[in-house]
Amino acid sequence: MTEQIKTKVLIIGAGTGGYVAGIRCGQLGLETVLVDGGDGLGGTCLNVGCIPSKAVIHAANKFETVAKAANGGTLGITASKPSIDLKQTVAWKDGVVKKLNAGVAGLLKKAKVKVIKGWATFSDAKTCTVKTDDGEITISAEHVILATGSEPVELPFLPFGGDVISSTEALSLDKVPGKLVVVGGGYIGLELGIAFRKLGAEVTVVEMAERILPLYDKALTDPVTKWLEKHGVKLLLGAKAGSFEKGQLNVTTRDGEAVKLDADKVLVTVGRRPRTKGWGLENMGVAMAGPFVKIDDRCATSMKNVWAIGDLTGEPMLAHKGSAQGEVVAEILAGHDKRFDPVTIAAVCFTEPEIVSAGLGPNDVEGHDDVIQAVFPLMAIGRALAIEAGDDGGFVRVLASKTDHRLLGVQAVGQHVSELSNSFAQMLEMGAVLEDVAGVIHVHPTLGEAFHEASLRALGHAIHI
């Protein structure tokens, strides 16, 4: 027997875009049904992406600290040689995820959002059938919000399975692989590759581009490259991965040489693609923009009252973008006049050291002589030195207009600089000028003082350099 449900708002996907849209719709009094057919409440980010990866990275950092103390000592601290039971680490990580899952479920319940677990298939733009453990439910809605997210890209010659894994499987391994080969030198591969190197794995990175993290400028990535080289991570740049056979990955090097890399696990992280197949998108009549669903600045698709948010709608594929879009759509449905038109969406790479980028970078303004650029090194910041974050080549950089000093972009590389990202984004969103940053009394001692000093330096009068 098929149950019939009619609702004001139907949301497909319970990731950071979908569940936030659901909560906001509920807060605004809109009858809302949320269909969760993917990774669970919180989606990729909470269950198999952002949160669990940062938990594993945190555990790896703790392990590295103890290992340093065992290897001659650090900061006057000595310790016995550490060991790790990765099963226990993964169990702790799963506990963090479970706690957050429960939190999201509670928030949705409080907002009176009806959550249905199952896979939705659309027959037309406003009607879908959901297969659940108890049967089928047909749902029709006045408004549909598509928030199906994205999935890892699979290489045809390196299909996932067995010892060829995606980031999802990497975050649930029961032991540290002796030899790990990472295919793809983007942020996901490097974040996890660095974590497993800290945990004791031998790591090789195979990247087609001529340098790692090709989406960031070289000044930002150089400190990461130096860390990799210092810690014995082998980089094969300009190289192409091939098939994986009998514990060996076939690779063609930059010079055309065919080599075989021994690998206990091959982690493929060559990007993500929007999840557009398997749920009836082709029956909805929405326009596409390449592989993505096309939207306007209200997150509206070409089909009336069908909306799309998050990774499904294009780059940047970042959780916080999807959440912001979800809030915008909910408020539009409640009659508010809203647009999704951010000045910037800051991005963070949780490598060693971390990278933050907000707004325009040097590559975006190359050839423009009407831009001021100023860099302030973390090694001149007391807090950075006191927490061993000042000796890895880290810095904060500001870009601003010469004519009116309006901030155009802010970047940073260094330990713990991810915590500066919101300050960077806030100043850019508010349309701040260099004098605004310079006029804010920054707390001492903090890493944020580097943002202050970089802005002062752009004005020609940095204090501590």
pLDDT digits (tens, 9 = 90+) for 419-428: 999 999 999 9
pLDDT digits (tens, 9 = 90+) for 376-420: 999 999 999 999 998 899 999 999 999 999 999 999 999 999 999
pTM of the model: 0.96
Give the catalytic positions in this structure. 444
The pLDDT score that the predictor gives to residue 38 is 77
The pLDDT score that the predictor gives to residue 1 is 60
pLDDT digits (tens, 9 = 90+) for 135-158: 999 999 999 999 999 999 999 999
Q: Which tokens belong to 49?
A: 């992406």
pLDDT digits (tens, 9 = 90+) for 150-194: 999 999 999 999 999 999 999 999 999 999 999 999 999 999 999
